[in-house]
Amino acid sequence: MLNILNLPIRLFVLCICLCSVVTACSRNSNSDPIDPAASTSNSTTTTTPTTNPPPPPPPPPPPSPPAPPPPPPPPPASVAVSVAPVSAAITTMQTQQFTATVTNATNKTVTWKVDGVAGGNANVGLISTSGLYTPPVQAGTHTVTATSVADTGKSANATVTVSIAVSSSYRGVLTYHNDNMRSGQNLQEKILTPANVNATTFGKLFSLPVDGAVYAQPLYVAGVSLGGQVRNVIIVATEHNSVYAFDADTYGAPLWQINFNDDKKNIAPVSSVDTNCADINPEIGITSTPVIDSATGILYVVAMTKENGAFAHRIHMLDIVTGKEKTGSGLKIEASVTGTSPPNNAGKLIFTSILENQRAALLLNNNVIYIGFGSFCDFGNHHGWLLAYDARNLNQLGAFSATPNGTEGGIWQSGGGPAADADGNIYIITGDGTFTADTAGKDYGNTFIKFSGPTLNVADYFTPFNQATLDAINGDLGSGAPLLLPDQSTGPKHLLVSAGKQGTIYMLNRDNMGKYQASGDSQIVQTIPKSNSLFGTPAYFKNTIYMAAVGDKLKAYTLSNGQIAQAAESTTSFNWPGATPVISANGENNGIVWLLRTNGSGSPALLHAYSAADVSIELYNSNLNPARDAPGAAVKFTVPTVMNGKVYAGTVGQVSVYGLLP
Which of helix, strand or coil describes residue 471? helix
Weakest mean pLDDT among 218-227, 237-246, 333-342: 218-227
How far the first Cα of the chain sits from its last, in Å, is 180
Residue 8 pLDDT class (50, 70, 90 cuts): very low
Which of helix, strand or coil describes residue 117? strand
Contact indicator for 338, 346 with CB cutoff of 8 Å:
no
Cα angle at 649 between 645 and 655, to 5 degrees?
105
Q: Whose CA is closest to 294, among 140, 136, 180, 423?
A: 180
Residue 54 pLDDT class (50, 70, 90 cuts): low
Weakest mean pLDDT among 56-60, 87-91, 238-242, 559-563: 56-60
Q: Is the pLDDT of residue 208 over 60?
A: yes
Predicted pLDDT of residue 165: 64
Q: What is the pTM of this model?
A: 0.81
- Dist CA 467 CA 475 (whole Å): 9
The answer, yes or no, to whether the previous bond of 282 is cis (omega within 30 of 0) is yes
Predicted pLDDT of residue 69: 79
Pairing of strands 563-574, 171-173: unpaired
- Dist CA 354 CA 352 (whole Å): 6
Dihedrals phi, psi of 329, to nearest 5 degrees:
-65, 155
DSSP string, 479-523: GB--EEPPPPSSS-SSEEEEE-TT--EEEEETTS--EE-TT-STT
Q: Is the pLDDT of residue 108 over 50?
A: yes
Q: Is the pLDDT of residue 46 over 80?
A: no
Neighbours of 85 (CB within 10 A): 14
Weakest mean pLDDT among 424-433, 601-610, 616-625: 601-610
Mean pLDDT of the chain: 90
Contact indicator for 362, 302 with CB cutoff of 8 Å:
yes
Residue 412 pLDDT class (50, 70, 90 cuts): very high
- Dist CA 398 CA 279 (whole Å): 29
Predicted pLDDT of residue 518: 97
- Dist CA 514 CA 438 (whole Å): 11
DSSP, res 605: P
Contact indicator for 221, 521 with CB cutoff of 8 Å:
no
Dihedrals phi, psi of 295, to nearest 5 degrees:
-80, -35
DSSP, res 75: P
Q: Whose CA is closest to 110, among 153, 141, 139, 69?
A: 153
Predicted pLDDT of residue 68: 77
Q: Is the pLDDT of residue 34 over 50?
A: no
458-479 pLDDT tens trace: 999 999 999 999 999 999 999 9
H or E element, residue 655:
strand 652-660
425-453 pLDDT tens trace: 999 999 999 999 999 999 999 999 999 98
Q: Whose CA is closest to 276, among 382, 213, 354?
A: 354
Q: Is the pLDDT of residue 55 over 80?
A: no
Predicted pLDDT of residue 70: 79
Q: Is the pLDDT of residue 376 over 80?
A: yes
Predicted pLDDT of residue 144: 97
Contact indicator for 363, 373 with CB cutoff of 8 Å:
no
Weakest mean pLDDT among 428-442, 520-534, 596-610: 596-610
Report the greatest alpha carbon distance in the chain.
Answer: 190
- Dist CA 292 CA 326 (whole Å): 13
At 555, which amino acid appears? Answer: K
176-202 pLDDT tens trace: 999 999 999 999 999 999 999 999 999
Contact indicator for 505, 564 with CB cutoff of 8 Å:
yes
H or E element, residue 451:
strand 448-451
223-263 pLDDT tens trace: 998 878 899 999 999 999 999 999 999 999 999 999 999 99
Predicted pLDDT of residue 136: 87
Report CA dihedral (572, 575, 581, 584) to the nearest 10 degrees: -40
Beta bridge partners of 89: 161
